[in-house]
């Protein structure tokens, strides 16, 4: 479990600002990608005449609000249930081997997820619309995976959702200052992983029709990865989970280069 410092060493401002700043790096990567898509993406009639900067700002408003709320939740509650972050000042430094283990875990996850996807997709997509793409992943897409996926999504799913559910369960169990129980943590981890997985459905809906099979596939693969990131969060801190998540996207990029 991540070791925590006394909260006097990490006042609320720092506990909020560190993870929030990291999430903004992810938002910047997303903004770069969205900016390149504004000219080609179809727009509702009421938005078609708006200037590109306004459209970009509107596109980023919802994720910015979600990331801000998640950063506030983590700052207020994470240390109360023994979940920490180096950026927030509530986790002790981890040894170098933890970073290497995170990188290796992320790369193995990429291999496992890609293998499972290749096994599942033929039955869901007889036309091979997703499997047919053999081109290497573009570097801008990799950057979004590294920064938005690795940083922003971890702030959202682990620092926000997981922490909130863990704290609520801890309070309901009336455990006071006792450590967070395993049942409460894993329940929170499952909830956060499922929410994280569900967040991938809108993007998939732009490519294929969301049949029950596609929904189950997407929830299973992404929730499985989310459970691993949540476990790393509890074990070594938020940044180790970020490193594993980013390494997963590096793995996907390497597999696309074959």
Q: Which one is predicted more confidently, 9 or 238?
A: 238
Q: pLDDT at residue 2 above 50?
A: no
- pTM value surpassing 0.85: yes
**Residue 8 pLDDT class (50, 70, 90 cuts):** very low
Q: pLDDT at residue 235 above 90?
A: yes
Cα–Cα dist 226/180, whole Å: 19
Crossing angle for the helix pair 163-172 and 182-198, nearest 10 degrees? 140
Q: Which one is predicted more confidently, 122 or 223?
A: 223
Cα–Cα dist 117/29, whole Å: 26
* Mean local confidence (pLDDT), 200-213: 88
pLDDT in tens, 165-193: 999 999 998 877 788 999 999 999 999 99
Neighbour count for residue 220 (Cβ, 10 Å): 14
Confidence at residue 160, expressed as pLDDT on a 0 to 100 scale: 98
Confidence at residue 174, expressed as pLDDT on a 0 to 100 scale: 80
* Mean local confidence (pLDDT), 85-104: 95
Confidence at residue 124, expressed as pLDDT on a 0 to 100 scale: 82
* Mean local confidence (pLDDT), 210-224: 94
Which residue, among 174, 155, 169, has the nearest Cα to 87 in the 3D structure? 155
Contact status, residue 2 vs residue 236, Cβ threshold 8 Å: yes
Q: How far is CA 220 from CA 34, 102, 116, in A?
A: 27, 21, 10
Helix (H) or strand (E) holding 27: helix 12-37
Which residue, among 84, 67, 63, 119, has the nearest Cα to 1 in the 3D structure? 84
Confidence at residue 7, expressed as pLDDT on a 0 to 100 scale: 47
pLDDT in tens, 136-168: 888 889 999 999 999 999 999 999 999 999 999
Confidence at residue 43, expressed as pLDDT on a 0 to 100 scale: 57
Token code pair at residue 55: 């459209």
Confidence at residue 10, expressed as pLDDT on a 0 to 100 scale: 65
Contact status, residue 106 vs residue 251, Cβ threshold 8 Å: yes
Confidence at residue 41, expressed as pLDDT on a 0 to 100 scale: 59
Confidence at residue 182, expressed as pLDDT on a 0 to 100 scale: 94
Query: What distance lies between CA 120 and its chain's CA centroid?
Result: 23
């Amino acid at each position: 479990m991540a070791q925590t410092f006394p909260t006097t060493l990490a006042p609320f401002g720092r506990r909020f600002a560190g993870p929030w700043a990291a999430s903004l790096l992810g938002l910047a990567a997303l903004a770069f990608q969205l900016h390149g898509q504004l000219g080609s993406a179809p727009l509702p009639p009421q938005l078609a005449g708006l200037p590109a900067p306004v459209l970009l700002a509107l596109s980023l408003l919802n994720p910015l609000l979600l990331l801000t709320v998640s950063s506030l939740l983590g700052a207020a509650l994470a240390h109360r249930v023994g979940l920490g972050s180096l950026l927030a000042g509530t986790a002790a430094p981890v040894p170098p081997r933890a970073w290497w283990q995170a990188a290796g875990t992320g790369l193995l996850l990429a291999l496992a997820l890609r293998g499972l996807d290749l096994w599942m997709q033929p039955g869901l997509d007889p036309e091979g619309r997703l499997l047919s793409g053999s081109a290497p992943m573009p570097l801008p897409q990799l950057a979004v995976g590294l920064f938005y996926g690795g940083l922003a999504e971890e702030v959202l799913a682990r620092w926000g959702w997981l922490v909130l559910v863990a704290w609520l369960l801890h309070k309901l169990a009336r455990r006071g200052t006792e450590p967070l129980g395993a049942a409460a943590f894993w329940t929170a981890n499952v909830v956060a992983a499922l929410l994280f997985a569900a967040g991938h459905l809108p993007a998939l809906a732009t490519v294929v029709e969301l049949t029950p099979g596609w929904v189950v596939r997407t929830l299973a693969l992404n929730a499985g990865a989310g459970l691993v990131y949540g476990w790393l969060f509890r074990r070594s801190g938020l940044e180790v989970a970020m490193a594993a998540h980013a390494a997963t996207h590096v793995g996907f990029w390497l597999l696309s280069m074959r």
